[in-house]
């Protein structure tokens, strides 16, 4: 239970004294504020916390600066289906109310999954707001429990902004764009995180928000490539743990996952066994080999494994669903055909009163063009009448009429098989760290020693935990673009499946097991099963 005691400091005065009431049933004093009017903003707030053991903790917040000069009436309330009614800082709302952020309303969180699960209609927009909220909740919880960390309101706001803007760089259908389309369009190394940084800069510049951020004591520094790596510049070592809140590069346990687990499971109708509120309750910063990291109670380790079991379940049942993959392959084929078509290219200003057009695959380099690139690109192709887009339009029409590429075979095999199959891209179906135990890098603390971080080995948890944390899947698709009649199509499909089973029997299983290799999906475009092995081409899954 929370109570607030406002103490007068320097020129601060009150018109009425505060009254105290004794709550006999709970055995502790409740401070109630009546019509307090403060004439100066420079005052100190003491937060009183009473926990179930009747121990009292005091958290002192520094004299208020402009960052604190807003009251609850200034906060905007969002009614979120996952987190309920949440309040966001005015600066966060200013960022949300920009065209660059509103763009996320038109990018599906789970890409092509919406074509399989009708409930998966949620977008990056609401996910980003949820991450911002959870980032603030975790930062505030650490601030209350550990005043010695010196987490201030500026730190909390920075973490919330990071959570809000971490997905600004996603392209059409989310991970489809950088995981499937861009590699085949010619840039295999590009990731959406790069665009997130560029889009954030573009957002601030176009909407004049840099002065607004400075009013809240936030300095905008030039961001470099190092910002995408493990070590982040600009933050003192004592507060480096703040980077683990939104994107934890060590353990993968962060609020980004907390929100998308809860949100994705809600919309997919899949059970979410992980309780992120419990994690926040037991989170604590401890020293690990000279660095500060966010740790959890030792008794919470099974809850930690539930994080990655939930991730695996979402990927297996939704993100890597064979029909979803077929849909995204078809969208990818259509976008590749339309990439450089003048009708579908994105028009931007040249800066001298003229304009130029940018191909879809090059939009990521120009934020003016990239902010116009969303899921709606397939609607533009479908509704076009250009002869040059006919082939792309026909592929998307097949998606809409459910005439999809066929998955003609799937098998769990060893990496030895892939010596005979030219696979160029991998699809992830693991616990987030290939074949490594994700909890092996996490640290915990005991109740009697809350400041000492300890590792916990898998053997001390349960014998029922998996031996391996990744799997390898060979999946083969057939385009079926010949317009065959139903009976003829089924006969050819049976022929291909039979050939696939023969290949699996001949080449696997093998003793050459390299379990760290991730599952792969291979795409084939064939006319007959006889020339199947010569017509294998790679599929780049998301």
- Res 473: pLDDT: 67
User: Considering the entire predicted model, what is its pTM?
Assistant: 0.74
Sheet of 473-478, strands arranged across: 406-412, 473-478, 520-524, 536-538
- Res 471: pLDDT: 59
Q: Is residue 516 scored above 80 in pLDDT? A: no
DSSP 499: H
- Res 360: pLDDT: 96
Q: What is the mean pLDDT of residues 416-436?
A: 41
Confidence band of 441 (pLDDT split at 50, 70, 90)? low
In what helix (H) or strand (E) does residue 44 lie, and over which residues does it extend? strand 44-50
Confidence band of 110 (pLDDT split at 50, 70, 90)? very high
Lowest mean pLDDT among 329-333, 345-349, 482-486, 506-510: 506-510
C-alpha to C-alpha distance for 436 and 137, rounded to whole angstroms:
30
Confidence band of 478 (pLDDT split at 50, 70, 90)? confident
Determine what percent of the chain is predicted with pLDDT higher than 90: 45
Q: Helix (H, G, I), strand (E, B), or coil: what is residue 349?
A: strand
- Res 277: pLDDT: 93
Which domains, from first to last, does the chain contain? 2-64 (no CATH), 72-320+436-460 (1.10.3210.10), 342-400 (no CATH), 406-429+470-538 (no CATH)
Which distant-in-sequence residues (6+ apart) come within 8 Å of 204 by Cβ?
Answer: 210, 213, 220
CA distances from 457 to 49, 289, 302, 335 (A): 35, 18, 12, 47
Contact yes or no for 517/413 (Cβ under 8 A):
no
Q: Is residue 424 scored above 50 in pLDDT? A: no
Q: Which of 263-272, 349-358, 452-461 has the highest mean pLDDT?
A: 263-272
DSSP for 372-415, written as a single string: T-STTHHHHHHT---GGGHHHHHHHHHHHTT-PPEEEEEEE--G
Q: Is residue 4 scored above 80 in pLDDT? A: no
Q: CA 176, 322, 127, 361: dihedral to nearest 10 degrees?
A: 10
Largest CA distance in the chain: 91
Q: Which comes out higher in pLDDT, residue 135 or 29?
A: 135
C-alpha torsion sign, points 334, 336, 338, 344: positive
Which distant-in-sequence residues (6+ apart) come within 8 Å of 421 by Cβ?
Answer: 474, 522, 536
Q: Which comes out higher in pLDDT, residue 319 or 19?
A: 319
Contact yes or no for 9/52 (Cβ under 8 A):
no
Q: Which residues are catalytic?
A: 192
Q: Which comes out higher in pLDDT, residue 227 or 252?
A: 252
Neighbours of 340 (CB within 10 A): 16
204-223 pLDDT, tens digit each:
999 999 999 998 888 876 65
Q: Is residue 463 scored above 50 in pLDDT? A: no
Backbone angles phi, psi at 200, to 5 degrees: -65, -45
Lowest mean pLDDT among 6-20, 83-97, 212-226: 6-20
Contact yes or no for 474/421 (Cβ under 8 A):
yes
115-165 pLDDT, tens digit each:
999 999 999 999 999 999 999 999 999 999 999 999 999 999 999 999 999
Which residues pair with residue 358 across a beta bridge? 346
**Beta-carbon-side half-sphere exposure of residue 120 (alpha carbons within 13 Å):** 24
Q: Which comes out higher in pLDDT, residue 340 or 47?
A: 340
CA distances from 210 to 96, 193, 519 (A): 15, 21, 44
Contact yes or no for 111/328 (Cβ under 8 A):
yes
183-197 pLDDT, tens digit each:
999 888 899 999 999
- Res 477: pLDDT: 75
Q: Is residue 29 scored above 90 in pLDDT? A: no
Confidence band of 438 (pLDDT split at 50, 70, 90)? low
**What are the tokens at 449?**
């020693």
Q: What is the mean pLDDT of residues 29-34?
A: 34
C-alpha to C-alpha distance for 177 and 198, rounded to whole angstroms:
17
Determine what percent of the chain is predicted with pLDDT higher than 70: 64
C-alpha to C-alpha distance for 442 and 100, rounded to whole angstroms:
36
- Res 20: pLDDT: 38
Q: Helix (H, G, I), strand (E, B), or coil: what is residue 516?
A: coil
C-alpha to C-alpha distance for 263 and 154, rounded to whole angstroms:
28
- Res 182: pLDDT: 95
Q: What is the mean pLDDT of residues 430-459?
A: 61
In what helix (H) or strand (E) does residue 281 lie, and over which residues does it extend? helix 276-282
- Res 234: pLDDT: 52
Contact yes or no for 311/261 (Cβ under 8 A):
yes
Q: Is residue 503 scored above 60 in pLDDT? A: yes
- Res 486: pLDDT: 77
Mean of the per-residue pLDDT values of the chain? 74
**What are the tokens at 421?**
């199959």
Q: Which comes out higher in pLDDT, residue 526 or 217?
A: 217
- Res 341: pLDDT: 93
**Beta-carbon-side half-sphere exposure of residue 137 (alpha carbons within 13 Å):** 21
């Amino acid at each position: 239970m929370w109570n607030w005691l406002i103490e007068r400091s320097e020129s601060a005065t009150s018109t009425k004294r505060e009254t105290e009431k004794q709550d006999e049933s709970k055995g502790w004093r409740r401070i109630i504020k009546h019509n307090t009017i403060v004439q100066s903003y420079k005052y100190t707030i003491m937060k009183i916390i009473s926990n179930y053991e009747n121990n009292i903790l005091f958290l002192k917040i520094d004299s208020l600066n402009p960052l604190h000069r807003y009251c609850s009436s200034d906060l905007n309330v969002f009614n979120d289906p996952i987190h309920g009614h949440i309040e966001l800082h005015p600066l966060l709302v200013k960022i949300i109310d920009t065209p660059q952020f509103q763009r996320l309303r038109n990018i599906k969180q789970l890409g092509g999954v919406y074509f399989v699960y009708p409930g998966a209609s949620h977008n990056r927009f609401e996910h980003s707001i949820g991450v911002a909220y959870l980032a603030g909740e975790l930062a505030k919880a650490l601030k209350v429990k550990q005043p010695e960390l010196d987490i201030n309101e500026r730190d909390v706001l920075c973490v919330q902004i990071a959570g809000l803007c971490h997905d600004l760089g996603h392209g059409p259908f989310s991970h489809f764009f950088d995981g499937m389309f861009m590699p085949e369009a010619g840039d295999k190394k590009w990731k959406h995180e790069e665009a997130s940084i560029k889009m954030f800069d573009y957002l601030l510049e176009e909407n004049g928000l840099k002065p607004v951020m400075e009013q809240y004591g936030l300095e905008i520094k030039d961001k470099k490539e190092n910002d995408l790596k493990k070590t982040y510049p600009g933050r003192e070592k004592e507060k480096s743990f703040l980077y683990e809140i939104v994107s934890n590069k060590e353990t993968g346990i962060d609020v980004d996952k907390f929100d998308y687990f809860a949100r994705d499971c809600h919309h997919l109708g899949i059970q979410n066994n992980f309780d992120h509120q419990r994690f926040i309750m037991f989170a604590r910063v401890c020293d690990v080999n000279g660095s500060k990291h966010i740790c959890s109670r030792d008794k919470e380790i099974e809850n930690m494994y539930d994080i990655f079991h939930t991730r695996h379940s979402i990927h297996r049942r939704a993100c890597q669903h064979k029909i979803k993959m077929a849909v995204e392959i078809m969208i990818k084929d259509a976008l590749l055909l339309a990439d450089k078509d003048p009708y579908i290219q994105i028009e931007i200003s040249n800066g001298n009163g003229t304009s130029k057009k940018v191909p879809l695959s090059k939009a990521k380099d120009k934020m003016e063009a990239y902010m116009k690139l969303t899921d709606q690109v397939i609607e533009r192709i479908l509704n076009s009448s250009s002869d040059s887009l006919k082939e792309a339009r026909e592929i998307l029409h097949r998606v809409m009429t459910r005439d999809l590429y066929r998955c003609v075979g799937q098998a769990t095999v060893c990496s030895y098989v892939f010596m005979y199959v030219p696979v160029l891209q991998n699809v992830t179906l693991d616990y987030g760290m290939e074949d490594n135990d994700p909890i092996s890098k996490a640290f915990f603390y005991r109740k009697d020693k809350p400041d000492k971080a300890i590792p916990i080995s898998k053997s001390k948890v349960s014998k029922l935990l998996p031996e391996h944390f990744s799997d390898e899947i060979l999946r083969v698709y057939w385009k079926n673009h010949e317009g065959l009649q139903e009976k003829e199509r089924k006969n050819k499909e049976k022929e291909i499946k039979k050939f696939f089973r023969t290949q699996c029997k001949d080449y696997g299983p093998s003793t050459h097991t390299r379990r760290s290799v991730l599952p792969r999906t291979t795409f084939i475009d064939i006319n007959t099963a006889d020339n199947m092995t010569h017509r294998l081409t790679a599929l780049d899954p998301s």
